[in-house]
A and B are shown apart, each in its own frame.
Chain A
């Protein structure tokens, strides 16, 4: 069946049709007289030479087409370089000049939807069962679609549109958001700049957060509660790299808006900065923020870096926190010797000049923390099989505290700091192909053991 189908497919080719016709014609020729037969053979020879010429021309066309395809691929790679960082993953990192992207960040084939435009997407669906199985949940955590376009070989744009939790409406919990939308330009082969809404280059997860990249069904706590992944701001940023593995990032962007703090909500305790981020949504921009950081990838398989972010959070609002400043710094390292994938990160946040504001929150359950921090370490080992399959068991240990300290609380109305959360996650990632991953893990949480959970997940990215 397959062979027949293949033959018919080949029969559509002009040369194959001619050979078929020749084969069918010969028996008839045997029945003709010799002269007529010779005449017919001469005619067929002429016809065959014509077909050979045609075949030569077709081969030439094919060669030309291959060259065009190669050109197109080159163009696509340019566009891929502009693809949203999260989706573009390792390919984007290579395009940006990073010497050795993390091993897990395998390049994907990006569908081309125009001569200089590519499409990307990722998604993740999760299922978890906490200690109280009545609270089991299944959720389309994220569905993201991205587009990138190269205007020239040095100028490109990228944008990502994301839907969280499947359904977004006034009565639903989902969110629809533009996660990235920026233009990037290469000034030289080593320096580029971007402007628009983009991800802050901080930590290991913020820029590369697609499900095929990280271990575990859910993103780690530290880079969610302390670093508010997926953290993006509107502004301008620059990147410089050299050939020895150094990459330096710096930028000027919008920042946090402390006037959004709700002392009666748990949001600030879940993620202090996550509760006051602005995400490019009518962002108050009286106070701009700055960031600077570096990564070093001078040894194959090793990435080490740090970032600091600082800025005012009063945003010109006339309230008791108008002088507040946010500082966040982190350091990270990732080492992938062979099949091993080892990582560690520490992040520390502080919000200063909040004494007067916290006085206004007297008695409320969630004042503004002065400091918050967390760290984690993670070890994974990748078994590689045929067809691009990989199996990655991992273990991760985290400690994080979203309210390490308070200031300004009235005497007698202290709010307990902490808790000092601890999370141990043991799990498995199985990559069916580099772009499709199945996950399972179990997470032990302390001190609130009721939130310990078993989880399953599926993710894809291209």
Chain B
């Protein structure tokens, strides 16, 4: 999902883009096909937005694993960069092996793009940000295509897709998104696999004692059990010897606290319930899936400024502490209702609270029981998660 906004990062983006979009990408980009090189130019081009100040890279900052570079729960877009979005910006890194959405043989929803999996491909995913009012806000494809035809790289676009490409609005819009997909797939910057942990798996680096402890807690099915949904072993995606992706591409309902910093949440009737809507519409009838959001990769998680789909937490330690203390100390996370009762799982309708995952470690405990991880152990896991940041040099 691309909630393309963030005025706070504008100056950084403009510096990266080189203005009108010629910038970072070039036809001679080593290792990139012509289509991907064109996609790179589109990715960094703010002229494709209604504001003229927002590019893909505005919210998907390469310096932050192609995710947001600020601590706002949602970004704002539109012509005036003042229309707030609905969800935190996910990273675009490590999506090259993300499958399209499907239900596996056991009925488990799996794959798809966006936090609710409704886009089937990276090119599909790129459609909404160009059009949505809270993002680049072009409204319709023909506006996007007009801007592409006026861009500095318009001749490149014609050279790659044919001289008459701009005469066919739908095809030109599709080709622009396919160029973006090619860029995301081909440029190693989106999937470098060069973290300290990768070096460790290859036997070329050693982890500190604290990092090792954190890894052990992360993988221990009786402690953190993080690898249950965020696999950390080689080949865990089914491809022999492939580096771990730290996601199993499934969905989970964590029962996150409602984040009142999201403007849309001022309306009590507004409930973002992931798979069952309201943004995704095809599974609206599957009430059992309400509240489930896609399990993201944890690669580069330490570079994030906000966590979870609603940006409910702004530090990694808080996010981990929520995991292990959600049920043992719910008063730390949920508000008291007017009746004096704790409003646990308050971002879901009460009748759907049963959808929340309360069976798996570490959130299978009851109020008053000790959490699965102590405070020191959480620090250890945080230390381990920091080894997942790309760009490690021994």
**Interchain CB contact under 8 A, B216 and A413:** yes
Distance in angstroms between the alpha carbons of A263 and B231 in the assembled complex: 11
Binary interface profile of A, 319-356, with partner B (CB < 8 Å = 1, else 0)?
11110000000000000000000000000000000001
**Interchain CB contact under 8 A, B105 and A320:** no
Q: Which residues of A contact B220 (CB under 8 A)?
A: 363-364, 413
Assess whether B28 is interfacial by the CB under 8 Å rule.
no
Q: Which of A317, A321, A361, A412 contacts B219 (CB 8 A)?
A: A361
Interface of A is mostly: loop
Q: How far is the CB of B148 from chain A (nearest CB, A)?
A: 41
**Interchain CB contact under 8 A, A410 and B203:** no
Q: How far is the CB of B263 from chain A (nearest CB, A)?
A: 41
Distance in angstroms between the alpha carbons of A354 and B224 in the assembled complex: 25
Distance in angstroms between the alpha carbons of A165 and B361 in the assembled complex: 34
Distance in angstroms between the alpha carbons of A362 and B233 in the assembled complex: 11
Q: Which residues of A contact B209 (CB under 8 A)?
A: 410-411
Q: Which residues of B contact A319 (CB under 8 A)?
A: 201-203, 234, 241
Assess whether B175 is interfacial by the CB under 8 Å rule.
no
Q: Which residues of B contact A322 (CB under 8 A)?
A: 203
Assess whether A171 is interfacial by the CB under 8 Å rule.
yes
Q: Which residues of A contact B235 (CB under 8 A)?
A: 259-260, 262
A322, A357, A362, A364 pick with most chain B CB within 10 angstroms: A362
**Interchain CB contact under 8 A, A263 and B233:** yes
Given A264-B227, A319-B241, A363:B217 Cβ within 8 A: yes
**Interchain CB contact under 8 A, B202 and A359:** no
Q: Which residues of A contact B240 (CB under 8 A)?
A: 259-260
Assess whether A318 is interfacial by the CB under 8 Å rule.
yes
**Interchain CB contact under 8 A, A412 and B202:** no
Q: Return the chain B residue nearest A263 by Cβ.
A: B233
Binary interface profile of B, 205-229, with partner A (CB < 8 Å = 1, else 0)?
0110100110111111101100100
Distance in angstroms between the alpha carbons of A233 and B351 in the assembled complex: 58
**Which residues A308-323 have CB closer than 8 A to chain B?**
317-322
Q: Return the chain B residue nearest A171 by Cβ.
A: B105
**Interchain CB contact under 8 A, B201 and A364:** no
Assess whether B200 is interfacial by the CB under 8 Å rule.
yes
Interface of B is mostly: loop
Binary interface profile of A, 260-286, with partner B (CB < 8 Å = 1, else 0)?
101110000000000000000000000
Q: Which of B203, B206, B219 contacts A263 (CB 8 A)?
A: B219
Distance in angstroms between the alpha carbons of A262 and B219 in the assembled complex: 12
Distance in angstroms between the alpha carbons of A361 and B224 in the assembled complex: 14
Assess whether A224 is interfacial by the CB under 8 Å rule.
no
Q: Return the chain B residue nearest A323 by Cβ.
A: B203
Q: How far is the CB of B94 from chain A (nearest CB, A)?
A: 19
**Interchain CB contact under 8 A, B213 and A412:** yes
Q: How far is the CB of B237 from chain A (nearest CB, A)?
A: 12
Q: Which residues of A contact B219 (CB under 8 A)?
A: 263-264, 361-364
**Which residues A231-279 have CB closer than 8 A to chain B?**
259-260, 262-264
Given A262-B233, A264-B233, A412-B213, A320:B218 Cβ within 8 A: no
**Interchain CB contact under 8 A, A410 and B213:** yes
Q: How far is the CB of A261 from chain B (nearest CB, A)?
A: 9
**Interchain CB contact under 8 A, B200 and A320:** yes
Assess whether A193 is interfacial by the CB under 8 Å rule.
no
Q: Which residues of B contact A174 (CB under 8 A)?
A: none
Q: Return the chain A residue nearest B218 by Cβ.
A: A363
Q: Which of B212, B218, B231, B233 contacts A359 (CB 8 A)?
A: B212
Q: Which residues of A contact B241 (CB under 8 A)?
A: 259, 317, 319
Distance in angstroms between the alpha carbons of A361 and B207 in the assembled complex: 12
Distance in angstroms between the alpha carbons of A263 and B227 in the assembled complex: 11
Assess whether A377 is interfacial by the CB under 8 Å rule.
no
**Interchain CB contact under 8 A, A359 and B207:** yes
**Interchain CB contact under 8 A, B203 and A362:** no
Q: How far is the CB of B326 from chain A (nearest CB, A)?
A: 21
Q: Return the chain A residue nearest B223 by Cβ.
A: A363
Assess whether A104 is interfacial by the CB under 8 Å rule.
no
Q: How far is the CB of B234 from chain A (nearest CB, A)?
A: 6
Q: Which residues of B contact A362 (CB under 8 A)?
A: 212-213, 215-216, 219
Q: How far is the CB of B352 from chain A (nearest CB, A)?
A: 31
Given A171-B105, A319-B234, A360:B201 Cβ within 8 A: yes
**Interchain CB contact under 8 A, A356 and B216:** no
Q: Which residues of B contact A365 (CB under 8 A)?
A: 221
17 contacts between A and B (CB under 8 A): A259-B235, A262-B235, A263-B219, A264-B231, A264-B233, A319-B201, A319-B203, A320-B202, A321-B203, A356-B203, A362-B215, A363-B217, A363-B220, A364-B233, A410-B213, A411-B209, A413-B216
The 3 closest A-B pairs by CB, nearest first: A363-B216, A362-B216, A363-B219
8 further A-B contacts with Cβ under 8 Å, apart from A259-B234, A319-B201, are: A171-B105, A260-B235, A264-B219, A356-B203, A359-B212, A360-B200, A362-B215, A363-B217
